[in-house]
Amino acid sequence: MSLRIMTVYGTRPEAIKVAPIITAIEADPELESTTVVTGQHREMLDQVNTMFGIEPDHDMNIMAAGQTLNGVAAKVIAGLDEILAEEKPDVVIVQGDTTTVMGAAIATFNRQIPVVHLEAGLRSGHIDSPFPEEANRKLTSQITALHLAPTSTSKDNLTREDISENDIVITGNSVIDTLMFATRTLEVHFGDERLEALQQAKKAGSGGRILLVTAHRRENIGEGMADIGAGVAELARRYPDLTVVFPIHRNPKVRESIMPAVADLENVLLIEPLAYAEFTRALSLADIVLTDSGGVQEEAPSLGKPVLVMRENTERPEAVVAGTVKLIGTKRQRIIDEVSLLLDSEEAYKGMANAVNPYGDGKAAERTIAAIKWKFSGGEKPADFGTDVS
């Protein structure tokens, strides 16, 4: 009998990272796939499903304006409980650290179904940063049956919390599988004309330098976001040859605090969130990346882009150690100084612009399937089980 695997996800980054796993499950005759979206995100989630041709079997459609953490968690637990009762999967996969993940893990655990956690073991060591993601990851780890860690650092974090080594497999991060798939797409035509013109200018060897910016962290909303807006605006004024490409997150609180500062600047392209293929093309075109995103911290280093991370700490230390990522916090002046340094000093720029791939080799989906079969349906123990993959 085939193993019935349910994959539950709800936000853009989860969708990007589960897409290659769902594709691999669907291609395997020994496995049966059910996909469930909570709909914690809507447009940003649908964008990814559309790109990968995934039509979820269940859509809980929970997103609401001004949603609260507890509101999301309550809807995820109650809604998924009904779907679990109906579908009775053998195992449930969750990915990452969102409230969807924590809620889905609790609902699954309470139904006595094993939880498989992708991207397990990341820890910043600060319970309030990222908030609430650090707690979501720790809570999920406590009730997970199979932990799929991207790196040995994340595996070590889990064993330090007394999680048995026999329940952990290092797979690499599936974000690199998705990135490799997307960057193989030969032609990306940007829907936004100004961005398309920028791409053509870059191809022709002109067009100046590009700073790609994203921001959305909950703990940065308010003062942090206002500082980010002010810092980016000052950089745009100071460097007229610079184009700032800023696909802005759909959270209205992010928009309210950032948009006024940058809205009227000609060299700031304030645009709607880009579809994944377009975003990764924008990453390839960029000279510098300024972000507070988790996923972007993993992708940009593998494209050799210097990444300035607007946070005080990170649960992804590997690229910091490799020198391609620098933590700079969210203070306006620091943002201006750090970006200016990379724009003004070739030496500083070259010191950071190194392609490194600490997060994976593009085969995480393959390893994930092997690990699930080993743990839940008598498959062989994966050979490179406990070591880094890149």
The binding site for ligand UDP (CB under 6 A) comprises 12-13, 16, 175, 214, 216, 247, 273-274, 276, 279-280, 293-296, 299
* Residue 337, phi then psi, degrees to nearest 5: -65, -45
Q: Residue 11 or residue 141: which is nearer to ligand UD1 going by CB?
A: 11
- The amino acid sitting at 68 is T
Q: Tell me how crowded residue 68 is: count the other CB atoms within 10 A of its CB.
A: 10
Cβ distance to ligand UDP smaller for residue 15 or 242: 15
Q: Determine the Cα–Cα distance for residues 127 and 123; give it in Å rounded to an integer.
A: 9
Are the C-beta atoms of residues 102 and 136 closer than 8 Å to each other?
A: yes
Residues 93-132 that bind ligand UD1 (CB under 6 A): 97-99, 132
Closest listed residue to residue 365, CA positions, set 53, 1, 5 = 5
The residue from 218, 255, 331, 373 that contacts ligand UD1 (CB under 6 A) is 218
User: How many residues belong to the site for ligand UD1 (CB under 6 A)?
Assistant: 25
Q: Which does 218 bind (CB under 5 to 8 A by kind): ligand UDP, ligand UD1, none?
A: ligand UD1
d(CA 93, CA 91): 7
Q: Find the catalytic residue in 12, 58, 123, 133.
A: 133
The encoded tokens of residue 299 equal: 């992708």
User: Is 55 known to be catalytic?
Assistant: no
Q: Is 189 annotated as catalytic? A: no
Contacted entry of ligand UDP, ligand UD1, none for residue 92, CB cut-off 5 to 8 Å set by kind: none
CB of 248 to ligand UD1, least distance (A): 11
Q: Which residue has its beta carbon closest to ligand UD1? A: 98
CA 132 to CA 140: how far, in whole Å?
Answer: 12
Binding residue for ligand UD1, selected from 17, 58, 216, 367, defined by CB under 6 A:
216
The entry of ligand UD1, ligand UDP, none near residue 42 (CB within 5 to 8 angstroms by kind) is: ligand UD1
Residue 334 annotated in active site: no
* Beta carbon nearer to ligand UD1, 236 or 319: 319
294-302 and 12-27 helices, crossing angle to 10°: 70
Nearest-approach distance from CB 321 to ligand UD1, in angstroms: 23
Q: Is 272 a catalytic residue?
A: no
For residue 132, say if its preceding peptide bond is cis, omega within 30 degrees of 0: yes
Rg (CA), the chain: 20
Q: Which one of 59-67, 81-89, 205-213, 237-245 is the stretch in contact with ligand UD1 (CB under 6 A)?
A: 59-67
- The residues that bridge with 327 in the sheet, in sequence order, are 309
Looking at the Cβ atoms of 41 and 58, the one nearer to ligand UD1 is: 41
Q: At residue 157, what are phi and psi to the nearest 5 degrees?
A: -60, -40
Is 11 one of the binding residues for ligand UD1 (CB under 6 A)? yes
Q: 10 Å Cβ neighbour count for 128?
A: 10
Count CA atoms closer than 13 A to 352's CA, side-chain side. Answer: 23
Q: Verify whether residue 4 is a known catalytic residue.
A: no
Partner interacting with residue 134 (select from ligand UDP, ligand UD1, none; CB below 5-8 Å by kind): none
Task: Work out whether 65 is an interface residue with ligand UD1 (CB under 6 A).
Answer: yes
213-229 exposure pattern, b = at least 16 Cβ within 10 A, e = fewer: bbbbbbbbbeebbbbbb
218 is catalytic: yes
Write the CA distances from 306 to 83, 215, 232, 323, 381, integer angstroms. 43, 16, 16, 9, 38
* Comparison of 101 and 371: residue with beta carbon closer to ligand UDP: 101
Catalytic residues: 97, 119, 133, 216, 218, 249
Contact residues toward ligand UD1 (CB under 6 A) are: 11-13, 40-45, 63, 65-67, 69, 72, 97-99, 132-133, 216, 218, 250-252
